[in-house]
Structure 1
Amino acid sequence: MAMPQTDLSLVETAGAAPQMAVRVRGVSKTYGSVEALRNLSLDFPRGQLTSLLGPSGCGKTTLLKIIAGLLEPTAGEVEVNGHPVTGPGPDRAFVFQDFALLPWATVLRNVAFGLELRGVARSEREAIAEKYIAKVGLSGFEKSYPHELSGGMRQRVGLARALAVDAEVLLMDEPFSAVDEQTRRKFQEDLLELVAQERKTFIFVTHSIEEAVYVSDQIAILLPRPSRVSEIIRPEGLRTKDVANIRRDSEYLDIVDRIWASLRSYVE
């Protein structure tokens, strides 16, 4: 069944439009002769989760790293809270696909590590770390080491570390791709709860259409290289529904089908 345009509004609902935490303006990126991004512009509403979705190699991670300040664009600019991005900063935190934990450090120290680098006193940083360890469901594992944890638990440590530094923008590069399907579904539910509780801006890279529709306030569909924004979808009706029922909801199923229809021609 076709989805009515009103259910996939590309504009805000009635009332004041949300403030934008991140603005990408005319960003291009080339690697030698390879043009990864071309004149890409996109806004990320404050306090919401935006997914970057598109075929493999379309520049999702490149865009994420440019926003993080880990890569410099060839052209264009990125602003966070109205300030131009010139490199990494405390207003942004990155959750890596491969966990990127310190193998010699306990869970507690891994989570507190960003605060340690900022010179936060040990008692204060450990108290903050314990708070977020509990929030991601790892209470009791503070003294464990990464090799003693499952993949899902290590990813929770990475998420807790990003939350602990209290960055306004969390950048997540396929954070659930290395875990099993059951763990991934639980992570998705937990992520929705964190977005609601933390009121931070999440930018989330995924290859999964179903995952993007399930967790997102906004989905930006990127075209194959050189990447541009093809479409922006806001599944607003799903955000008011119980997380346990979203995957059976007709709106969810229709949006998944619509996105697949727009992307299938790009899949080899």
Structure 2
Amino acid sequence: MVMPQTDAAFRTDAVPAEVAVSARNISKTYGEVEALKNLSLEFPRGQLTSLLGPSGCGKTTLLKIIAGLLEPTSGEIVVNGKPVKGPGPDRAFVFQDFALLPWANVLRNVAFGLELRGVAKSEREDIAEKYIKEVGLAGFEKSFPHELSGGMRQRVGLARALSVDADVLLMDEPFSAVDEQTRRKFQEDLLNLVKHENKTFIFVTHSIEEAVYVSDQIAILLPRPSRVSEIIRPTGLRDKDVDMLRRDPEYLDIVDQIWASLRSYVE
């Protein structure tokens, strides 16, 4: 089934010239369940691509295959021109459940990826402190995860991913466990990171509004077996004031267009 096409003002079919990550004919089968089928998608360097679709359509499966945490049944992932054979330093994962070390303080949690790489303590702590400050946690370096709110723990996870200086950040519904006010602040912070960090972000979300707000590119996935149905690039939004964006007519129109495409898959 082909989903309705979005208005031309919201869509371009031209592939960006510079691609950081390519998913090429990816299929993934779990026993008799076909999760992904010949899925192909390219992720532009330095931009944020959201994976959006109904529950169970394989968004997280695709993210884990890109991360090298799952092996595809067929097809390949290419990052910076090299096929993915497993996890690597060019990719960092921000987990939905924070995945923090409960016995380590914020500073050590953020520096942990660098510690695993053998970076000297003074150097890794300098790097960690930089990103702790960047995500708004300065002053909490000696705090432990149980002493932090859910939003603060998520910031620790994001700072840890940033500290390893991976080219690609993989984010699996990173804001779903926080309240709406914190989520909106995270979205604004994420836009700032995309603008200044020059990294490629691949972002899984169930929220249409969130996808349109933060994305340079939105890939709509079909239900199992999942394929890319449509790619939307809201090119007119990035130069607009983020404080006004949620009331912008173009933003609202894109949200409505995507909902029109997905509503038939919602039970």
The alignment's TM-score, normalised by the length of structure 1, stands at: 0.97
**Conservation of the 8 A alpha-carbon contact between 1:3 and 1:254:** no
> What letter matches 1:106 in structure 2?
N
Provide the C-alpha distance between the structure 2 equivalents of 1:6 and 1:251, rounded to a whole number of angstroms: 9
Is the partner of 2:237 in helix, strand or coil?
helix
Aligned position for 2:208: 209
Runs of 4+ aligned structure 1 residues displaced above 3 Å come to none
1:5 matched to 2:8: yes
Provide the C-alpha distance between the structure 2 equivalents of 1:83 and 1:145, rounded to a whole number of angstroms: 38
Provide the C-alpha distance between the structure 2 equivalents of 1:260 and 1:8, rounded to a whole number of angstroms: 15
**Conservation of the 8 A alpha-carbon contact between 1:18 and 1:46:** no
Provide the C-alpha distance between the structure 2 equivalents of 1:205 and 1:4, rounded to a whole number of angstroms: 24
> What letter matches 2:14 in structure 1?
V
Aligned position for 1:126: 125
Is the partner of 1:260 in helix, strand or coil?
helix
Following TM superposition, by how much is the alpha carbon of 1:110 offset from its aligned partner in structure 2, in angstroms? Answer: 0.1
Deviation per CA, 1:19-49, whole angstroms, max 9, x where unpaired?
Answer: 1000000000000000000000000000000
Provide the C-alpha distance between the structure 2 equivalents of 1:103 and 1:67, rounded to a whole number of angstroms: 27
Aligned position for 1:154: 153
Alignment RMSD (CA, Å): 1.0
**Conservation of the 8 A alpha-carbon contact between 1:59 and 1:227:** yes
Deviation per CA, 1:90-127, whole angstroms, max 9, x where unpaired?
Answer: 00000000000000000000000000000000000000
Aligned position for 1:238: 237
> What letter matches 1:159 in structure 2?
L
Identity %: 82
Deviation per CA, 1:186-222, whole angstroms, max 9, x where unpaired?
Answer: 0000000000010100000000000000000000000
Provide the C-alpha distance between the structure 2 equivalents of 1:160 and 1:263, rounded to a whole number of angstroms: 33
Is the partner of 1:143 in helix, strand or coil?
coil
Provide the C-alpha distance between the structure 1 equivalents of 2:188 and 2:124, rounded to a whole number of angstroms: 27
Provide the C-alpha distance between the structure 1 equivalents of 2:97 and 2:66, rounded to a whole number of angstroms: 19
The alignment's TM-score, normalised by the length of structure 2, stands at: 0.97
Count of aligned residue pairs for this structure pair? 263
Provide the C-alpha distance between the structure 2 equivalents of 1:165 and 1:3, rounded to a whole number of angstroms: 38
**Conservation of the 8 A alpha-carbon contact between 2:49 and 2:216:** yes
**Conservation of the 8 A alpha-carbon contact between 2:10 and 2:232:** no
> What letter matches 2:204 in structure 1?
V
> What letter matches 1:246 in structure 2?
L
